[in-house]
Chain A
Amino acid sequence: MSVRKLLAVIAGVTTLATGVTAQQTLQINGAGATFPNPIYSKWFSEYNKLHPNVQINYQSLGSGAGIRQLTNQTVFFGATDGPMTADQLLAAPGKVLHFPTVLGAVVPVYNIPGVTTPLKFTGALLADIFLGKVTKWNDPAITKVNPGVNLPGTDITVAHRSDGSGTTYIFMDFLAKLSPEWKQKVGVATAVNWPTGVGGKGNEGVSGLVSQTPGSIGYVELIYALQNKVSYGSVQNMAGEFVTASVEAVSLAAAEAAKSMPADFRVSITNAPGKGVYPISSFTWLLLYENPKDKAQAKAMVDFVKWALSEGQKFAPDLGYAPLPESVVKLEIAALSKIKVS
């Protein structure tokens, strides 16, 4: 090889190298739900390893804040645990699309000294406890569904979230479906006017209250119950079975819902029909504009969502989320093509 050729090669390599480093890193900002924050953080960092030129920043401010910031266009994407309402969709300056990313479950946790058998709950019973109508652990309403369990006559202390939360929304959504009184008196929202009980801040606040207070009952995301080793009960599903929350039972709920999935994916899967389904399950959604202003970001984001729906799903079970069923992923990939990237 002549010197001249060598120099040319070196020159070529250096231009290539500078070309790569000069290529700009694409920053994409999002904000929203705290519930999926652990898996979103994992996804964004893993995706950044694969695509160093795409950096996605996510602020877990809460679903309400995510929707507000998306509407004000201060972030590129939002994230929420409860689908946007019709009013909220109208308030947005462009058409917003929902994309389910993973599934989560909410479990009733309790602390009754001396009781080791896992308790069973029906939706109506949970509603009556949280309404303050069932106040003792040996109330006939509880002993009826838990035959053979020796329950003490102590007072029930209800623990709930004090902060607005998607976890609360999912739990309320379930209670309202099973109890007309709940629907009428309390309603469904991320924060409600609690008829009884004490409030703890965050999942850790509620699980802390429950683990420290004998005779208490609360609700937390599945992963917190597992991590904190609090007892959690099984819940009766639409088919009449008492199901203990697990990643599989939650995915089953989604598979049932996929059969009649609306085109905009705004669907509640609490109290879903089918066998083996865990009834207090929910999707969590990413929110994207159908026609975003910044096309480079739009393209990168669509690529990311495709990755999250396929490769990304394998990170879900370790973090306590249920992966999406195949059928839902297929529908979403089709819906992603609606986003205008050019």
Chain B
Amino acid sequence: MRGRDLGFRLGTGAFALVLIVIVVAIGVELTRQSMLSIQKFGLTFWQTTTWDPVAGDFGALPFIWGTLYSSVLALLLAAPVSLGIAVFISELCPAAFKQPLIFLTELLAAIPSIVYGLWGIFVLVPAVRQLQVLTPDWLRQVPLFSGPPLGVGMLSAGLILAVMVIPFTSSVAREVLRSVPVSQREGAYALGATRFEAIRAALFYARTGIIGAIMLGFGRALGETMAVTMVIGNTPRISTSLYAPQYTMAAVLANEFTEADTELYTHALIEIGLVLFIITLIINVLSRMLIWSMARSAKPRTQPAARPAAAVA
């Protein structure tokens, strides 16, 4: 019996090891394949704004900016909506609507991103352009809303990303809320809490898991490619405006990799992949640290309780 136990542990351990090996291998391979660009540009690759394949001059800053801007925008738009969906389904929804609603959010997650992109081009972008045309002049003076009404641009990208992220974030948040023990809510009610207060208590209880759900959505937004490239306008220029066409790292890879004809060009593109990899890594580490610190600060009061939520995250 014990031998089988050991075998099982070693076996699953080996699978877990595969994960580490894959992550390290990706990092090593991306570095190896982008050596020319790393040697030529060094750290300035992260700081310069020119992307000129003809002259062989490459800088990644506009792509880094566009990726972070669009993902944060998507996060700001998607997080409240996702939380609302999750709370409604798990706490307030009449039983008859529960399954259909769950089914619909999961259906949204199953739609291929190219389909979102087409919907973006034909429905979302014209609607956003209309919104831009209707923007009053005084508002246009604000840097956030400046620029000609193109339709394509940061706002369209943020909106489409938000729609794509909502099913993931809301599904995980819903599961996290479901894992909150009934005793928590019963306790709240026993103390005379209203429904709203009981839900607030459940949300507080599940907060690490909810942060995890939001970060999962953020990760997805960082790497999303097809739908974004179809609506963002693909212009490597840093701008704070929601109306300005911009560019993301994943989009430039998808757009230019197949036609990259010089070695330096290919290496610069792979280095963009490396930069995206590093940024994703940093963001994941930061969100983990956030969750840990939250879980730790909650320990004295609700030590055993923090576990199920953190496990989902």
Contact among A163, A164, A189, A193 with B51 in the assembled complex (CB-CB below 8 Å): A193
Contact among B50, B247, B260 with A164 in the assembled complex (CB-CB below 8 Å): B260
In the complex, A282 has a CB within 8 A of chain B: no
Closest CB pairs A-B (n = 3): A164-B259, A199-B234, A162-B234
In the complex, are the beta carbons of A199 and B235 less than 8 A apart? yes
Contact among B126, B153, B234, B258 with A212 in the assembled complex (CB-CB below 8 Å): B126
Which of A65, A162, A163, A164 has the most chain B CB atoms closer than 10 A to its own CB? Answer: A162
Q: What are 21 A-B pairs at a CB distance below 8 A?
A: A61-B258, A68-B261, A157-B150, A162-B229, A164-B256, A164-B258, A164-B260, A186-B54, A187-B55, A189-B261, A190-B261, A192-B53, A193-B51, A193-B52, A198-B235, A199-B247, A200-B234, A201-B234, A201-B255, A205-B121, A212-B126
Complex CA gap A193/B148 in Å reads 21
| Residues on the A chain within 8 Å of B125, using CB | 212
Given that A198-B234, A199-B235 are known contacts, is A62 also in contact with B150, CB under 8 Å in the complex?
no
What per-residue 1/0 map shows which CB atoms of B222-258 lie under 8 Å from chain A? 0000000110011100000000010100010011111
In the complex, are the beta carbons of A192 and B259 less than 8 A apart? no
In the complex, B275 has a CB within 8 A of chain A: no
In the complex, are the beta carbons of B51 and A213 less than 8 A apart? no
User: Which B249-295 residues have a C-beta within 8 angstroms of A?
Assistant: 251, 254-261
Binding site for B on A (CB under 8 A): 61-65, 67-68, 85, 88, 155, 157, 162-165, 186-194, 197-201, 205, 208-209, 212-213
Q: How large is the interface on B (under 10, 10 to 19, 20 to 34, 35 or more residues)?
A: 20 to 34
Q: Is the interface of A mostly helix, strand, loop or mixed?
A: loop
In the complex, B151 has a CB within 8 A of chain A: yes
In the complex, B152 has a CB within 8 A of chain A: yes
In the complex, are the beta carbons of B258 and A163 less than 8 A apart? yes
In the complex, are the beta carbons of A62 and B229 less than 8 A apart? no
In the complex, B129 has a CB within 8 A of chain A: yes
Given that A193-B50, A193-B55, A198-B245 are known contacts, is A208 also in contact with B259, CB under 8 Å in the complex?
no
| Residues on the B chain within 8 Å of A198, using CB | 150, 152-153, 233-235, 245
Which of B50, B54, B148, B151 has the most chain A CB atoms closer than 10 A to its own CB? Answer: B54
Binding site for A on B (CB under 8 A): 50-55, 121-122, 125-126, 129, 148, 150-153, 229-230, 233-235, 245, 247, 251, 254-261
In the complex, are the beta carbons of B255 and A163 less than 8 A apart? yes
Q: Whose C-beta in chain B lies nearest to the C-beta of A164? A: B259
In the complex, are the beta carbons of B52 and A208 less than 8 A apart? no
Say how far A106's CB is from chain B's closest CB, in angstroms. 16
In the complex, are the beta carbons of B54 and A188 less than 8 A apart? yes
In the complex, are the beta carbons of A189 and B54 less than 8 A apart? yes
Complex CA gap A117/B91 in Å reads 62
| Residues on the A chain within 8 Å of B151, using CB | 212-213
Complex CA gap A165/B257 in Å reads 11
| Residues on the A chain within 8 Å of B256, using CB | 163-164, 191
Given that A67-B261, A162-B229 are known contacts, is A187 also in contact with B54, CB under 8 Å in the complex?
yes
Complex CA gap A189/B265 in Å reads 12
Complex CA gap A191/B256 in Å reads 7
Q: Whose C-beta in chain B lies nearest to the C-beta of A186? A: B54
Complex CA gap A65/B129 in Å reads 36
Q: Whose C-beta in chain B lies nearest to the C-beta of A62? A: B258
Complex CA gap A41/B124 in Å reads 33
Complex CA gap A208/B247 in Å reads 18
